[in-house]
Amino acid sequence: MKEDVVKQTKRYFGFFALMTNEKMDAITALTLYRNKDLVEKAFGNIKERLNLRRLLVSSEKSLDGKLFVAFVALIYLSYLKKQMQDKGMFKDYTMQSLLDKLDVIECFENPGHDLRVGELLNKQKLIYEFMGVETPS
């Protein structure tokens, strides 16, 4: 490592301050701040996917439905991120790679019959276990 280059670069490092009305340590404040950032980015992503720039809805009920689905999706994303942090899963997965692993699971539904889930890989089963969710069968 070139110490002089590192020292020169560090000279331009900055800092930021987080202010709150709550009593908490610095790590907790930073974690909450970063989670807020994740939710904001996810909401922006969902807005893009739901095309919320131009609300192409024919009724107020449709708009309510779109917003409700976006809100529930953000709740799931927040839960998923917290579980990944708590279980140390970020060393093996990014949020997107974890979702991609689960996205390929196939479900079959026939009226009058139980939901059938396609074959699960061992990695997918492990993800369910880490999340504390019962593995679908």
pLDDT in tens, the chain (137 residues): 788 888 888 877 777 777 778 888 888 888 888 777 777 777 777 667 655 566 667 788 887 887 888 788 888 888 888 888 888 888 888 888 888 888 888 888 888 888 888 888 888 888 888 888 888 87
Q: Is residue 72 classed as helix, strand or coil in its secondary structure? A: helix
Whether the model clears a pTM of 0.75, i.e. scores above it, the answer is no
pLDDT, position 130? 82
pLDDT, position 27? 85
pLDDT, position 99? 86
State which H helix or E strand residue 83 sits in. helix 60-86
How far CA 67 is from CA of 41, 76, 136, in Å, comes to: 16, 14, 28
pLDDT, position 49? 62
pLDDT, position 52? 59
Alpha helices in 87-120 (DSSP H): 95-103
